[in-house]
Amino acid sequence: PCLRPQVAGIGGIFEQTDGPVSLVSAEELAFKFAVNNINRNRTLLPNTTLTYDIQRINIYDSFEASRKACDQLSLGVVAIFGPSHSSSSNAVQSICNALEVPHIQVRWKHHPMDNRDSFYANLYPDYSSLSYAILDLVQYLKWKTATVVYDDSTGLIRLQELIMAPSRYNIRLKIRQLPLDTEDTRPLLKEMKRGREFRIIFDCSHHMAAQILKQNVFVFGGRFMSYIKESHWDGLTGRLSFNKTTGLRTDFDLDIVSLKEDGLEKVGKWSASGGLNITEVPKRKGINITDSLANRSLVITTILEEPYVMLKKSDRALVGNDRFEGFCIDLLKELAGLLGFTYEIRLVPDGKYGSQDDKGQWNGMIRELIEHRADLAVAPLTITYTREKFIDFSKPFMSMGISILYRKPNSTNSGFFSFLNPMTPDIWVYILLAYLGVSCVLFVIARFSPYEWYDAHPCNPGSDVVENNFTLLNSFWFGVGSLMQQGSELMPKALSTRIIGGIWWFFTLIIISSYTANLAAFLTVERMDTPVDSADDIAKQTKIEYGVIKDGATMSFFKKSRVSTFEKMWAFMSSRPRTSLVKSIEDGIQRVLKSDYALITESTTIDYITRRNCNLTQVGGIIDSKGYGIGTPIGSPYRDKITIAILSILEDGRLHMLKEKWWSGSSCLDEERRETGPMGIQNLGGLFIVLASGLVLSVFVAMAEFIYKLRKTAEREQVYIPTDHFEYVPNSICPLFLKLIKSENDIKLIGLEFEFILPPTIDNRSCSTGMTPVFP
């Protein structure tokens, strides 16, 4: 067996920059650390001590690198570490390969297929694996656009897997090269900022990366060639292993870092065997909500819709943000004042909220956020599941639903007989039948009960004449008096008739109370008869056309709904898109006013419209429940800050005051709250007609009664009544109806109940209060 040397020397060649002070490079420090660490750990190389010889060369000086390598080989070193620059490293590699001395490399190396240099080990990760790692990270972050910045042509080789990604993963890449003649990268960064290129992948030297990203790059030395290729161990950068053929590092871990408020923080790692593993980082508490937004200028995309965003009316020309006003504009001002950012408002070019076409492409404000042409979308933007997959939303600043806007139908004012409206015609017929039935039953029971009969002449003991108060007419009069709450001076005496009276009184009490309670509303409130009252009513008919705003959240709701009613409604709307779908809310309002059309849209918008247009009304209740939120690009650091600010102004009541400001000021009376107005003849005219009809009817009935009684009396007495005696008819208007009867000695006035004797003088033809009753 071969004996190990007691002392083994390792050469280290490192570049130094030109300057008054020579700084020790990170590679040199790592090299010394590795040698000292092996010497301290006697289990690695027992009975062997490593020594090192360090040579420093100027960067880009390959001749000096070759000379230093020859000097170290003459000292008997068993391996050479470095240098890191490509031209110098290639020169040293050529010498080591010729003399079969292990060469430990710490730089990126392209390994072509025909490369015969095999006597080296490279600590730099394999460029293909590194490219896959970056591609996996881009896919996890759901980047649709990215910019690749490299310093030389080798960067394109290292990132070839990422550069080929657009054809396979639908990623748009922009490729830029750092300036070669200067280290000032600010012009390039400013150009990328103007192009809103915020997702950047740098492939450059660690010196340049340190200036741009403020991060450190760690590089380590190596081991003896044979031992390195066969061993696996954990180093400062993780587990180390090399390909036995190429000497390239194959098993390594990458730390994924993210820029936070306090600097770079580790958020995950990537390994060739395990792939990408993102670990959750708990949110820090107590962070000022203005940290990430203070003094930043944001681009705001929005859309015109009352009362959220409107063009301000002014006599002078307005420019910039002063052109707009509305609820969302005031909300944006509150957020800007709380978070400390400035903003520029831009209307969305196509005037749409955002929806997907058949190819999956978005339009409207959603597209503006996806393509990073805007930082925030402040508008009545509905939070939906589909949109949430492509952009982020803040917590909702307003809750709403979907309802139906329809033209207010002609009111049905109360007519002359509106006092009959509190009850349906069926109820009035049932009341009349109940009145007739109770009166007839009362008459029969009163005749049947012996306790309702009484002696007509109590002073005459021998009289056997008895009478009953509840005649048929009195029974009907008792029912009418009870129903009108006036009484009839007829009181039942028997228990049976009292039961009937008590039940009838209870019935009339409930009827009159219910009638009185509803009478005022029916006399004063105008009744509205709408042809449809809900979404089910609209879906069941085709006479009234209905639709939604094109490319809005309401259209997406019906398009993706699996409820049978909504599917039927969407089938109707999609079959006639030109007439059912409208471009904007203004077009929808005009269609509702001018044609038989119902617009289905957000309830908050309907509330605002109906407060200002008295000819429109909301039909039915809320169909769906959603919320308006502020949209941000996916992964935006502003979302959480915006959410915290919205919750803040929501809790202190400012959001409620903003809504009251823009929704109040209605010119239409709220029909549910308005006070009862005075009643006119159109409300109570029917009562006067009934009164006049009753008076006229009573006159005719009185005349009929008078003539009927007159004839009956003449027939009974068998007398003739001259025509001239009718001149006494006016004098018969007395408490009792009187009839003139001519006799031989006097004139008898016989009443309905009594007979009176008057002196046979013409002057006594008028009624006298001193009449003496004469019983027959």
Q: pLDDT band for position 70 (50/70/90)? A: very high
Tell me the pairing of strands 253-260 and 172-177.
unpaired
CA 266/CA 281 separation, integer angstroms: 8
Highest mean pLDDT among 48-52, 152-156, 346-350: 346-350
d(CA 686, CA 418): 7
Question: Rounded to an integer, what distance in angstroms lies between the CA atom of residue 701 and that of residue 709?
Answer: 12
CATH number of the domain within which 611 lies: 3.40.190.10
Q: Let me know whether 137 and 258 are in one domain.
A: yes
Q: Across all residues in the chain, what is the average pLDDT?
A: 78
3-class DSSP assignment, residue 433 = helix
Using the Cα atoms of residue 570, residue 575, residue 578 and residue 580 in order, give the sign of their dihedral.
negative
Q: Is the pLDDT of residue 744 over 80?
A: no
What is the CATH classification number for the domain harbouring 474?
1.10.287
Half-sphere exposure of 267 toward its Cβ, with a 13 Å CA cutoff?
A: 15
Q: What DSSP element (H or E) covers 609? A: helix 603-612
**Residue for token pair 């955002």:** 354
288 assigned to some structural domain:
no
Whether 639 and 700 share a structural domain: no
Which residues are annotated binding-site positions? 380, 382, 387, 554, 602
CA angle, residues 126, 130, 135, in degrees to nearest 5: 150
3-12, 105-114, 616-625, 654-663 — most confident range: 654-663
- Please name which of 109, 170, 117, 179 lies closest in space to residue 145, comparing C-alpha atoms: 170
Residues 757 and 774 sit within 8 Å (Cβ to Cβ): yes
Residue 133: predicted pLDDT: 86
- Indicate whether 303 and 393 sit together in one domain: yes
- Give the whole-number percent of the chain exceeding pLDDT 70: 78
Residues 6+ apart with CB under 8 A from 625: 399, 400, 401
The answer on 542 and 645 residing in a single domain is no
Tell me what pLDDT residue 425 has: 85
**Tokens 């001076």 appear where?**
489
Query: Model pTM?
Result: 0.43
> What pLDDT, on the 0 to 100 scale, is given for residue 526?
54
CA atoms within 13 A on the CB side of 22: 8
- Chain centre to alpha carbon of residue 276: 36
Phi then psi dihedrals of residue 271, to 5 deg: -135, 155
pLDDT for res 743: 41
Strands 172-177 and 145-150: what pairing? parallel
Strands (E) located in 418-540 = 453-455, 466-468, 527-528
Quick: pLDDT tens for 413-446: 556 677 777 888 888 888 888 888 888 888 888 8
Q: Which of 276-285, 345-354, 399-408, 469-478 has the lowest average pLDDT? A: 276-285
Residue 409 lies in a domain: no
- Is 245 domain-assigned? no
| 731 close to 766: Cβ distance less than 8 angstroms | yes
Buried b (16+ CB within 10 A) or exposed e, 353-364: bbbbeeeeebbb
User: Do 443 and 478 meet the contact criterion of CB atoms below 8 Å apart?
Assistant: no
pLDDT above 50 for 220: no
255 touches 266 (CB < 8 A): yes
For residue 707, being part of any structural domain is answered with yes
Most confident of 202-211, 404-413, 429-438: 429-438
Alpha-carbon distances of 460 from 203, 457, 464, 751, rounded to whole Å: 136, 6, 9, 23
Task: Tell me which residue range forms the domain holding 561.
Answer: 535-627
Residues in the chain: 776
Is the distance from CB of 419 to CB of 519 less than 8 angstroms?
A: yes
Per-residue model confidence as pLDDT tens digits over 294-328 = 888 999 999 998 889 999 988 888 888 999 999 99
Overall domain count for the chain: 6
Residue 637, preceding peptide bond in cis (omega within 30° of 0): no
- Among 14-23, 206-215, 581-590, 668-677, which is the least confidently predicted range? 668-677
Are 297 and 340 a contacting pair, CB within 8 Å? no
CA 599 to CA 580: how far, in whole Å? 9
Do the strands 200-203 and 145-150 form a parallel or antiparallel pair, or are they unpaired? Answer: parallel
- Mean pLDDT score, 15-36: 76
| Structure-block tokens of residue 16 | 């130094």
Contacts (Cβ under 8 Å, ≥6 apart) of 500:
438, 441, 442, 445, 492
Q: Which of 15-19, 119-123, 259-263 has the lowest mean pLDDT?
A: 15-19
Higher pLDDT, 115 or 552: 552
Instruction: Report the C-alpha gap between 773 and 753 in whole angstroms.
Output: 10
Task: Work out the average pLDDT over 145-162.
Answer: 81
Which structure tokens are listed for 426?
């069926």
Distance (Å, whole) CA 233 – CA 125: 15
Return the amino acid letter for 294.
A
Burial of 724 (0-12, 13-18, 19+ CB in 10 A): exposed
Model confidence over 557-614: pLDDT tens digits? 888 888 888 889 999 998 888 888 998 888 999 999 888 899 998 888 888 888 888 8
What distances in angstroms separate CA 302 from CA 99, 365, 664, one per listed residue? 71, 7, 23
> Band of the pLDDT at 745, cuts 50, 70, 90?
very low
The candidate with the shortest Cα–Cα distance to 285, out of 666, 640, 671, is 640
Please indicate, yes or no, whether residues 226 and 88 belong to a single structural domain of this protein. Answer: yes
Residue 171 covered by a domain = yes
Instruction: Provide the token pair at 646.
Output: 């919205």
In a domain? residue 736 = yes
Q: Which residues are annotated as a binding site for L-glutamate?
A: 380, 382, 387, 554, 602
pLDDT at 469: 79
Same domain, 458 and 547: no
Q: Does the pLDDT of residue 759 top 60, yes or no?
A: no
How sure is the predictor about 667, in pLDDT bands with cuts at 50, 70 and 90? low
Same domain? 498 vs 539: no
Dihedral pair phi/psi, residue 686, rounded to 5°? -65, -35
Has residue 268 got a pLDDT over 80? yes
Cα–Cα distance measured from residue 475 to residue 488, given in angstroms and rounded to the nearest whole number: 10
Distance of CA 273 to the CA centre of its chain: 44
pLDDT band at 381 (very low <50, low <70, confident <90, very high): very high
Interval 708-734: pLDDT, tens: 877 887 787 776 555 444 444 444 444
38 lies in some domain: yes
Based on the domain organization, do 618 and 561 belong to the same domain?
yes
Which residue would you say has higher pLDDT here, 189 or 458? Answer: 189
Q: Is the pLDDT of residue 618 over 60?
A: yes
Residues 101, 146, single domain; the answer is: no
> How many CA atoms lie less than 13 Å away from 669 in the CB half-sphere?
9
* Residues 183, 313 within the same domain: no
pLDDT grade, residue 393 (50/70/90)? Answer: very high
E strands present in 428-543: 453-455, 466-468, 527-528
Query: Within this chain, do residues 230 and 120 fall inside the same structural domain, yes or no?
Result: yes
Query: Confidence class of residue 366 from pLDDT cuts 50, 70 and 90?
Result: very high
Which CA distances in Å does 65 have to 78, 91, 93, 223?
17, 7, 10, 21
pLDDT digit string (tens) for 49-62? 888 898 888 877 88
Kindly report the CATH number assigned to the domain that includes residue 118.
3.40.50.2300
Highest-pLDDT range among 222-236, 467-481, 661-675 = 467-481
- Domain stops at, among 182, 202, 235: 235
Lowest-confidence region among 42-46, 64-68, 702-706: 702-706
Q: Is the pLDDT of residue 109 over 80?
A: no
At 677, is the pLDDT very low, low, confident or very high (cuts 50, 70, 90)?
low
Helix-helix angle 425-448:495-524, to 10 degrees: 160
Looking at the fold, whether 636 and 518 belong to one and the same domain comes out as no
Per the domain annotation, does 348 fall within a domain?
yes
Number of Cβ within 10 Å of residue 32's Cβ equals 15
Residue 735, token pair as written in the block: 């408490």
Higher pLDDT, 679 or 643: 643
Say what the pLDDT of residue 721 is.
Answer: 57
